[in-house]
Amino acid sequence: MVKRFRFGAPIETEAVLEKGAQQDKQQLSLVQTADGLEYEMPDDMIVYGLGENTRGINKRGWIYVSNCTDNPHHNEGTRSLYGAHNFLLLSGEGQQLGLFIDTPAKVTFDIGYSRYNLLRITAGQDYDLYVIEGSTPAQVVQEFRQLIGRSYIPPKWAFGYGQSRWSYLSSDEVREVVRGHREKGLPLDSVYLDIDYMERYKDFTVDREQFADFEQLVSEMKQEHIHLVPIIDAGVKVEEGYDVYEEGEKEGYFCKDEEGNDFIVGVWPGRCCFPDMLNDKARAWFGNKYKVLLDKGIDGFWNDMNEPAVFYSEKRLKKVFEKLQDYQGQNLDVNTFFEFQALAAGVSNNEEDYRSFYHNYRGEKIRHDKVHNLFGYYMTRSASEAFERLEPEKRILMYSRSSYIGMHRYAGIWQGDNLSWWSHLLMNLKMMPSLNMCGFLYTGADIGGFGGDATEDLVIRWLSFGVFTPLLRNHAARGTRQQEAYRFPRTNLFQNVLTARYCMLPYLYSEFMKAALRSTMMFSPLGFVYPSDQTARQVEDQLFVGENIMIAPVYEQNASGRTVYFPETMKLLRFHDGGVLEGSVYEKGWAYVEMPLGDVCVFIRDGYLLPLAKGGSHVAEVDFEDLRLYTCGSDVKSYEYYMDDGETKDYSLDKYIRILKAE
């Protein structure tokens, strides 16, 4: 059951497809406050949700702020990440309550931080609240997902392995990366182009010095079954003679300052303007620009810097330079030094700057901070809507760094600029079900970590978890260790892990598609599957992938195995040395399981099966029909196997599901 309660005059986000009638606030089970809501939580209540955010699957005990933020150095103390996903699921004995606070402005969730049993939501005066009641956590999530619409579905090739770096600087470097994988027997389907493929960081351009043969490169890579996926950034370079800038400036498509002038910020190219993504005409104009690259054979993109990230505003930079003069010649003691240091540090992503520019949203001038969390969503929507016009029958890969609920219909996300930390591997694991709750199914983190120098074992362990996530991309920052799989000594271990991915593709693709089309979750906490098992409800480092298998990744350095909780009888299936080994059967309870580096372990539930293919060097080489069925137990259920062509937009469950039965 879904009920909508309106507070004030909220700004439309288009996150929800069917709003339903407003309800009388007398029916509301939460306490209304001057600027939000409060709810008394029982001791045993688990709070799920908030999509992309820090800490555990259970969100109790911390403050989270929905405010799309560029923060590549996030840790346990961080309160905001790149997405804003205002959905909570309160799960207690006899009560399952979903809450969605629909507002594009900042929202604060104090989930037992100030007082352990108190949920305090601070959302201002204007928002829609959706309250969803159900008998199980999974039912509440399904109701919410049906409310917000079907999740984005990428092409099948996008479930293959992708290699990225900031940046591959030339066509020859791209060829070297592909050659390195192919010669070492490492499967690969895509190579990502970061900002250096552009001409001086200008959107929808190509650097004709380093990528002179760009069109030939795209064609050549497709012959190798490699898709090139270029980045598109939110800022348009201010430069006379640059057509994108000149058109946007002439038509008034850029965000304005208080005086009505184009708001100038610094991003990758230096001085930039932000296209007004909330202006329908500007959004259509920007989306049509993707045609430049579509016409060159590109069929995948990633949108970046669209929180939007601000290196500096021109006005703020001027003030800082003037203020810095005051410190010249001073004795900088502890106080004045920190003031001096904070001046420079406060230039980027400054809250005052976000209150200094405006959008034309449905004919109304709206200050950016009031709609901040919509910017990345609407930028990515601009591309998706353009693809519908330009390539209506074809699936195009699209994912974004910033997002709000609703964008899940148009694209996936990656989980932002992380670090080469073991804790960020664990956070990746814990984020998957939370994102699925909010509709984001096509997602994954930068394998190995984006910032910092990754170790060989971290990349292998991260890959060993990442092979289950729909988006599987190795990505690293400029100045860090090169972490492509073929550069490490133990290439055979990487080969085994990636082979496991391509063997599991039939199951992973099938489970993804069923989750998208049925509004269910691909990744579930154990408590969703066993809601009455109090131990299962507390386990946060194991997940179900689909209905049939459980995973328990290793996320600690130098560990050769781990303790696993089995909520029921399960059988170990081990990918080892390029093959598949059927291992021990574990009864309900705790057990230590050996998981040597390079092995990928899955646990099949009693009475279920797992279909596997023979693998391949790319997705097109995988035989999705000739499958081997691995089972646990004697009375094995049949499996609904979904498989379509992976390219067109015919997604019929009746047409593409067939039943697999164990012999």
User: Is 533 labeled as catalytic in the residue annotation?
Assistant: no
Strand locations in 215-299, DSSP E? 227-233, 236-237, 256-257, 264-267, 270-273
Mean of the per-residue pLDDT values of the chain: 97
What proportion of the chain, given as a percentage, has pLDDT over 70?
A: 100
Which CB contacts under 8 angstroms, 24+ apart, belong to 647-651?
647/155, 647/156, 647/394, 647/395, 648/393, 648/394, 648/395, 649/153, 649/393, 649/394, 649/395, 651/153, 651/513, 651/516, 651/517
Encode 75-99 in three state secondary structure: CCCCCCCCEECCEEEEEECCEEEEE
What is the per-residue pLDDT across 13-48, written as a single tens digit (0 to 9) for each? 999 999 989 999 989 999 999 999 999 999 999 999
Q: What is the DSSP letter of 419?
A: B
Is residue 659 scored above 90 in pLDDT? yes
What is the per-residue pLDDT across 92-136, written as a single tens digit (0 to 9) for each? 988 999 999 999 999 999 999 999 999 999 999 999 999 999 999
Query: What is the arithmetic mean of pLDDT over 208-236?
Result: 98
Is residue 58 scored above 90 in pLDDT? yes
Lowest mean pLDDT among 339-343, 522-526, 655-659: 339-343
User: Is 644 labeled as catalytic in the residue annotation?
Assistant: no
Instruction: Output the pLDDT for position 408.
Output: 98
Which listed residue (128, 207, 304, 606) is catalytic? 304
What is the per-residue pLDDT across 571-615, written as a single tens digit (0 to 9) for each? 999 999 999 999 999 999 999 999 999 999 999 999 999 999 999
Which listed residue (307, 457, 547, 644) is catalytic? 307
Instruction: Output the pLDDT for position 344.
Output: 84
Which listed residue (417, 457, 541, 606) is catalytic? 417
Q: Order of strands, edge to edge, in the sheet holding 107-111? A: 31-33, 36-40, 118-122, 107-111, 62-66
What is the C-alpha separation between 244 and 204, in angstroms, rounded? Answer: 8
What is the C-alpha separation between 46 and 532, in angstroms, rounded? Answer: 13
Query: What is the arithmetic mean of pLDDT over 285-308?
Result: 98
The residues, any chain, with a CB within 8 Å of residue 366's CB and separated by 6 or more, are 11, 278, 358, 359, 360
Is residue 90 scored above 90 in pLDDT? yes
Instruction: Output the pLDDT for position 306.
Output: 98
DSSP string of 436-485, one letter each residue: HHTT--SEE-EET-SBS---HHHHHHHHHHHTTSSSEEE---TTSPP--G
Tokens 């348009």 locate to 236
Q: What is the DSSP letter of 364?
A: E
3-state helix, strand, coil in the chain (%, to 5): 30, 25, 45
Residue 129: closest CA among 92, 80, 87, 85: 87
What is the per-residue pLDDT across 395-443, written as a single tens digit (0 to 9) for each? 999 999 999 999 999 999 999 999 999 999 999 999 999 999 999 999 9
Of the chain, the end-to-end C-alpha distance in Å amounts to 41
Amino acid at 585: V
User: Is 556 labeled as catalytic in the residue annotation?
Assistant: no
